Amino acid sequence: MTKFALGTHPFLLGFEQLERLVERTAKSGNDGYPPYNIEQTSDHSYRITLAVAGFAENDLAITVEDNSLVIRGRQTDEDDGRIFLHRGIAARQFQRSFVLADGVDVGEAVIENGLLHVDLSRAVPERIVHTINIRKG
């Protein structure tokens, strides 16, 4: 059985990077923490919501790197002399990545009630029809 490569199909011209994109997404290293939702808020906008209870605004960083939205969290483990009989809430760092399509812009980010909301919008491309002249050779 031969492996089907998306970029080699004769009807998919110019999609050579699609296979690399799928591989990059699969290897992004997201381990399931923190849990998140992705919702469509309109025909051209989305919202990513991450459960970041215990993280302060200063513990979080949001960047766009090479068409990827990267959200990082790092808590400082402040041991101010407290003695824990059970410690089930660990100060844990995370990195969650989302691959963005061309034309998707990251809007505002809001943290409320332990949830981080990141709004995304997709620009609607203008429909353009080009007529190609045929010249006689």
Domains belonging to the chain, first-starting first, are 1-29 (no CATH), 31-77+87-126 (2.60.40.790)
Two structure tokens written together for 85: 């009989």
Two structure tokens written together for 63: 């960047």
Lowest-pLDDT range of 33-47, 64-78, 115-129: 64-78
Two structure tokens written together for 45: 């906008």
- Whether the per-residue pLDDT at 7 is higher than 70: the answer is no
- Whether the per-residue pLDDT at 112 is higher than 90: the answer is yes
Long-range interactions of 23-28: CB distance < 8 A, separation 24+:
24/99, 25/99, 28/97, 28/99
Which pTM value belongs to this model? 0.72
Instruction: Count the Cβ atoms, other than its own, within 10 Å of residue 75.
Output: 17
For the chain, the average pLDDT equals 85
Bridge partners of residue 118, in order along the sequence? 48, 109
